[in-house]
Amino acid sequence: MTGKKIFPFLLAFVLVLLIPTQALAVDFEITEVQIDAQLNEDGTVDVTENFIYQFEDDFEGITRGLIEQTGTTIENFSATENDNPLKVEMDDGVYKIYRAGEDDETIQVELTYQIVGAIEKFEDGAQFYWSFVDESNESEYGDMTISVLPPAESNSTAALGYDEAYNTEMITNEGAAIFELEYVPDGENVTVRAIFEPELFSALTAQDGTIRDDLAADREQLENEAAIFAQNQQTAKNIGIPSIAIAGALLLAGILLAWRRSAQRKRKINNYPYEFFVPKESMSIPALLHFTNSIYLSPNVISAAIMELMRKGNVQQLSEDHFELISRKTDHAHEETLIGLLFNQIGDGREFTLEQVEEYAKNEDNHADYNQAIDKWNKEVSAEVKAKDFHEKHPALRWAAGVMSVLFIGLAIYTGIYEIFPWMAVSIVLAMLALGFAIGYSPITFEGHEVRRNWRKLKTAMEELPAEQWNRLTKDEKQRAYAYLLGSDQKTAERKAAVFTSAESQMDGSSFVMNPIFMTAIFVSAGTTTSASASGGVAGSGTGTGVGGGGGGSGAF
């Protein structure tokens, strides 16, 4: 792989780490390729290609892209399997060979075609100079061999491979040029060049000039480039490997120390003795659930938020599924948004029922508005949590990690150019680690740990809390505690519902919801219904050109 090819390779590697990728139309491997180019006296070349495909999906066929060199044509393309002809269609240089099959199937397909005008005859030799695969190819080849066969025995064959074929050539006793490439990655050129005695091509007219010196000059240039590359590669090893190792050790040590400091703080809080109590009101119940339970607010949290509005006197429950708006004056933006969704979008402006929520969610025309309102509500709950500053900033440390990320990206490019791939991979991983630390390192403050610990302990204690201990709490404490339990642990809330609500008056405007589990089920159903509403082509044919002319690639569909 040459230096100029490493940049797309590196970019692809990083993108694989950062984002989910879409699967190709068909998942397959090409495990073996044998290409035989039989040169003829009249200057034509009869090509036979054998491909072994291993499929992991159902498939309709394979593809072969073939690009003509200027002055040449490709004719008589055909495909067979076990001597049985296969249907072929051609579109803009891409041949589609129809051979349907199922997943886990292995097939061997033979392709034949003739290249007209591909042999150039000079005073000292006739050359075949051709790219069978070029940069546009999107498929890997597990084991590739290319054989260039003269019309008759050749005594002075010269051969040279370019790009992925470099230094793979050998000449048989009969004068055939064999290129044993083995593994060939996608996006690489495979170009071969072979020169034979001009007398073997009696039907061709020789051009003025010679060609063997040109091949010898190319060989010398490639050898010089390889020597320079090897020297630079050693320099890259001497500089890049120690740099990655030292900087990596510093990064890992810094992350370990930061993690240890944060863990010690958390452990100190958790070691404090605990006796059941309801913490004082410091933020809304949805915000508490966002901070202490999960940043992804489930439909349970909507029920908890409605109970919070009832506790504050904004909403009154008229019956099990009937609610009335008492006041629009709220403490937080997300409370105003939830009131707008329930009473304005779903209800009549003053009242709403759970039956109306069900009907609203069943109408597909409402799904976008419902999801938009819920998304806004989530963001505003998150904004309340952020305003509490429960996370430390550490700008200097995060900037240092960001600089180290840039350093590792540079080292990854440097080592990648000189094909030190294991250390390139290490550098990429360290770059992602440093970048993640720079973006995400924001340890929870002592106060934040205290809030988390107290509410999580409360939830655990409520699983087995005796009724008499519950009854000693004030009405406000009961409402906040049960709302938190409902939003974080529905199973425990369901089990405790009768005990924890029995002392409350159904006609009390600030009372608990008489059937919070029923209400939660309604919003779970609404969320599922609306989310469900919200929520090939040919793979891997080449269309470019190679160094010696020609080119193409392979794929499947």
* pLDDT mean over 377-400: 91
Please tell me the distance from the alpha carbon of residue 373 to that of residue 377, in angstroms, as a whole number.
6
- From the centroid of its chain, how far is CA 475? 50
**Token pair listed for 79:** 């495909």
- Residue 276: name the closest of 537, 481, 528 by CA: 481
**Token pair listed for 138:** 């999107």
Q: What is the pLDDT of residues 32-63, one digit of tens each?
A: 999 999 999 999 999 999 999 998 888 888 89
* All residues at 6 or more sequence positions from 180 whose CB lies less than 8 Å from its CB, including other chains: 145, 168, 170
The two beta strands, 552-556 and 106-116, are unpaired
Confidence of residue 294 (pLDDT cuts 50, 70, 90): confident
Domains, the chain, ranges and CATH? 25-210+541-556 (2.60.40.1730), 290-391+443-514 (no CATH)
* pLDDT mean over 252-275: 86
Confidence of residue 545 (pLDDT cuts 50, 70, 90): very low
* DSSP secondary structure of 37-106: EEE-TTS-EEEEEEEEEEESS-EEEEEEEE-PPTT-EEEEEEEEETTEE-EEEEETTEEEEEEEE-TT-E
Please tell me the distance from the alpha carbon of residue 383 to that of residue 369, in angstroms, as a whole number.
21
Q: What is the pLDDT of residues 404-413, one digit of tens each?
A: 999 999 999 9
Residue 5 contacts residue 188 (beta carbons within 8 Å) = yes
pLDDT at position 234: 93
* All residues at 6 or more sequence positions from 549 whose CB lies less than 8 Å from its CB, including other chains: 69, 70, 72, 129, 130, 131
Please tell me the distance from the alpha carbon of residue 398 to that of residue 438, in angstroms, as a whole number.
4
Q: What is the pLDDT of residues 121-158, one digit of tens each?
A: 999 999 999 999 888 888 889 899 999 999 999 999 99
End-to-end, the C-alpha distance of the chain in Å comes to: 28
Higher pLDDT, 500 or 168: 168
Whether this prediction's pTM lies above 0.75 is answered by: no
**Token pair listed for 335:** 């409370």
